[in-house]
Amino acid sequence: MREYTPGELSRLLGIPLVGPDTARISGAAALTEARGHELAFVGAAKLFGTAQNSSAGCLIALEAYAPAPGQAVLRSAQPRSHFAAALATLYPERAVSPGIHTTAIVAQDAAVDPTAEIGPYVTIGEGTSVGRGASIGAGSVIGANVRVGEAALLHPRVTIYDRVSIGARAIIHSGAVIGADGFGFEMSGGRYRKVPQVGSVEIGDDSEIGANTCVDRAALGVTVIGEGTKLDNGVHIAHNCQIGKHVVIAAQTGLAGGVTIGDYAIIGGQVGMGDKARVEARAIIGSGAGILTSKIVRAGEPVWGTPARPLRQYLRQLATLSRLAARGASRERPSGD
């Protein structure tokens, strides 16, 4: 593992160094656990006291932080962001090893760039293309007529159905299923008849799909995950959803068919959305909220609860319920006579 001095990190990150340039930094740790060869960050003023006693070899700290004697500190207006950049330097991704493993099964008319890496027991269907520098992990199944973009990373055991497009530099984690049929059935003659799902899925450039997340193909048309959007583990995106650019969706959230989410929206964990709900750009939905069918969530104040409503209204209603419960409990107490 390569070591860096605080001065080298200062130059790489473009932020100033205060203090000695003698440490050799080869890793990173939490502020209270970091040792002399490790980097830590100080992202809030309330942590200044803890930072004064830290054993870290180097700190990335807010500009207002006053270093203890002998501390090496990289001053930053955004310590967490610079710490993330430093982590990428200290713990670089494994380099792609070009080539097709001998156990992989690749259709004759598939186009795999010579710089791409195809791992053990991968299968790649007819008409599929794998771009420059892409990596497909062991045991993954890639269907027919799929496009895997340049430098995309598919971890082991990813499943991509037919006619799906994966953007450049997209990351898809293990267990994810992209392009499974949407949940489409029609009652006919007393039983459900499957409605063929003949659309596709487009995963945008620089997006990330978490482990065991499912993105269903459209019934007709395209299910879209926009550029730079991040889906956590265990998220379900149903058929014909249109997710904008740089959206963040936390774990265990489920979207019903035809939901639209605007750019830069933030969706908390365990949120449920009904058919054709619409979330405006930059809207914020709190964890556990329920969005009713065809509901429009406006940008501005965060929404919370089920059915979702503005946070201030939600908190007022909680307070009212608490007062009513307390009043009811007092009436039920014995009088003491």
The answer to pTM > 0.85 is yes
Burial degree of 171 (CB within 10 A; 0-12, 13-18, 19+): buried
Nearest to 203 by CA among 161, 175, 266: 161
- Structure confidence at residue 300 (pLDDT): 85
What confidence tier does 88 reach under pLDDT thresholds 50, 70, 90? very high
pLDDT over 80 at 28, yes or no: yes
Q: Which CATH class is domain 6-90?
A: alpha beta
Partners of 148 in beta bridges:
130, 166
Nearest to 198 by CA among 256, 258, 239: 239
Let me know: does 77 contact 60? Beta carbons within 8 Å: no
Given the residues 82, 155, 173, 239, select the one marked as catalytic: 239
Segment 229-278, tens digit of pLDDT:
999 999 999 999 999 999 999 999 999 999 999 999 999 999 999 999 99
Q: What is the rounded CA–CA span in Å between residue 124 and residue 140?
A: 9
Helix spans in the chain (H): 6-13, 48-52, 79-90, 311-332
Domain ranges for the chain: 6-90, 99-311
Average pLDDT in the 271-293 region? 96
37 assigned to active site = no
CATH topology for the 99-311 domain: UDP N-Acetylglucosamine Acyltransferase; domain 1 (2.160.10)
Contact status, residue 220 vs residue 203, Cβ threshold 8 Å: no
Average pLDDT, whole number, for the chain? Answer: 94
pLDDT for the residue 138: 98
